[in-house]
Structure 1
């Protein structure tokens, strides 16, 4: 029923949210000029015990450490969501890449800002205690050769399903071993300090499950795409199971993108830094309209565009009368 309802919409829009590793130094700076942001940052500091605004304005590499990265991303993207909604925008479905699923749930009003931040704080603290590991993005390689080497190398896994690039996740030694055996045009280290989406973080998933069970989610006002079982859902228990499973499982964003497009999405907005998630979606459907929303300036541009579009339609109707 959800699929058919999306397909029947003239314009079905998905909001998608990137995960940890998407953060950029300076993100959120322009939001500091708004009184609403200052109120939100005060709420955040009372929960976290440290200032997100200082990290937004700093070039300190502290931002790459999990216990700081996840709360900073959460506050940044929830503000963008709220500014979008205040401007009259609402998605038809939401989805997120790993940590980004919590932003999708916030957009679906599964929890309020403070409840979500308290949950993220505990999640980040658990993950920050994980053994050191690495994640790297690879571009320009032989997929069959890479797959074969990874399968025969302990403590390293492919953490995604994209055909145009690969993400290796594992111990530093294991990743170094793979790279010594496979020719790669470009290796891009991700700003993370653990081997996410591998069995090496299963202990974090188990610890976090007990915490997540104690948090009451509200009924979703927007359907949420579950990344583990590839379904669009309003089911709270299903989504919670997904949040636990995705910690130690690969992110299959290409499969997610393909499913969303097949379900009738014809426009996608990436909320946050960059537009990496949108590239995968547009490769599957080149006609897909895409937008990146990383600042209030991006929102203002959309508002102006939509107002001009409405004016153009109204003028056309007047002419045709």
Structure 2
């Protein structure tokens, strides 16, 4: 298995993306239009490139184009994606939550809002664990300081007003075990309570966006677990004030089967962090645990079933409900199953095309914030044209999952449904 990870602020460098802008002229032109300036010129301008409102869009564009190049050249799709702070937007883009332009609009707004925060500071404390840093803050009454990043088990970033950060830095420099306190070159107290105003304004901005179902699990900075589709906006917005829990995000991915990591974007900052995490920390497996006091397994519905199956179909539970003739199981039941993290199929047998289309549109409307469903199609040996019309309808409305009933063999209609959209990549794949 492989995870693609995308870097955030701190990975930018002058001249980044030079090999990508000419390769993707249409997307580069779209970026220029959305931003109101040349992305290529920005990446050559060292002064502007280090300003938050410019850094974030520049990294998003370069990360996104790097991802497209990677997938075109190798045909490789990741099993998971993750991104450090700003990089999480590229992880969501790679998973299909939004297109290139929508992602850039979100990042542009995020960068503008975060750049307004003045008077803040951040510092990396190296040599102490998260718990030890928390203890030092509490014991020294530094309650105006927040934990911003948990980059590795012993690299913790603190955030707050600049004068409070200076006071805290002096305290940490005198603590036994601290190897270094590194003040970061930032203007704001990012990933802290002091970004609340930016978070609230971003939440209002993001409300008008419609996020598509994630095709690849994305690990959230806030929860260090895969995004829940129905909580996507809240989780993404919460990242502005929440801590970047990079250590546990990587530990969670380490706990999957034989996981490897590849950094997509400029630099190798995340590669270095991941090397330290894998050397210093144990994987998080989320295995079923046996309580010592009972000796019995604590089994939950969500822990059962094949993990790959649940990941492929974006399900919380490995449960399906098959379609019934004439839609007896109802579109309402299909919606309820999807909302609870399961998947149901709507039965089309005995129904006309118009009735089926109404059902599809109704289900898609109810599940506009996410949820998996499918359509049951019954083979008709005498009237193959009706089968073709049904496939036309499913393709028209972007239905992803089909339950094929009563088929004695694979028919051209089924092949067309599954193969629609295939194309040959630059490398011939």
Q: TM-score, normalised by structure 1?
A: 0.77
Q: How do residues 1-321 of structure 1 correspond to structure 2 at under 5 angstroms?
A: 12-32=1-21, 34-36=22-24, 38-60=25-47, 62-87=48-73, 88-140=75-127, 146-151=133-138, 152-161=141-150, 162-183=152-173, 184-233=178-227, 235-285=228-278
Once structures 1 and 2 are overlaid, which stretch shifts more, 197-206 or 121-130?
121-130
Give the Å deviation of 1:117.
0.9
Distance in 1, matches of 2:275 and 2:184, equals 23
Q: Is the 8 A contact 2:129 2:154 kept in 1?
A: no
Asked if structure 2 preserves the Cα contact closer than 8 Å seen for 1:141 and 1:182, the reply is: no
Secondary structure (helix, strand or coil) at the match of 1:134 reads strand
- 1:120 partner SS: helix
Aligned residues of 2:129 and 2:155 also touching (Cα < 8 A) = no
TM-score (norm 2): 0.59
Matched-pair contact (CA < 8 Å) for 1:160–1:253: yes
Question: Which string of whole-angstrom CA distances, capped at 9 and with x for unpartnered residues, describes residues 184-235 of structure 1?
Answer: 54343434321111101011111111111210112222121223233324x4
Higher relative contact order (CA 8 A, sep 6+): 1
The answer to whether the Cα contact below 8 Å between 1:149 and 1:178 also exists between their aligned partners in 2 is no
Assess, with a 3 A threshold, how the Cα gap between structure 1 residues 132 and 273 changes in structure 2: closer, same or farther. Answer: farther
3-state secondary structure, aligned to 1:95 = strand
Q: Partners of 2:232 and 2:222 in 1: how far apart?
A: 9
Between Structure 1 and Structure 2, the one with more helix by share is 1
User: CA contact under 8 A between 1:261 and 1:281: conserved in structure 2?
Assistant: no
Q: Contact 2:192–2:241 at 8 Å: present in 1 too?
A: yes
Equivalent residue number for residue 289 of structure 1:
none
**What corresponds to 1:296 in structure 2?**
none
The aligned residue for residue 290 of structure 1 is: none
Retained in 1: the 8 A contact 2:15–2:43? yes
Answer whether contact 2:6 2:87 (CA < 8 A) is retained: yes
The residue that corresponds to 2:390 in the other structure is none
Q: Give the length in aligned residue pairs.
A: 271
Q: Which runs of 5+ in 2 are unaligned?
A: 280-429
Other structure's SS at 1:215 match: coil
Q: CA RMSD in A?
A: 2.2
* Contact persistence 2:6–2:82 (CA under 8 A): yes
The answer to whether the Cα contact below 8 Å between 1:258 and 1:281 also exists between their aligned partners in 2 is no
Cα pair distance change 1:131/1:137, threshold 3 Å: same
> Which protein shows a greater Rg?
2
Distance 1:254 1:142, change over 3 A: closer
**Partner SS state of residue 248, structure 1:** coil
Kept in 2: contact 1:21–1:190 (CA 8 A): no
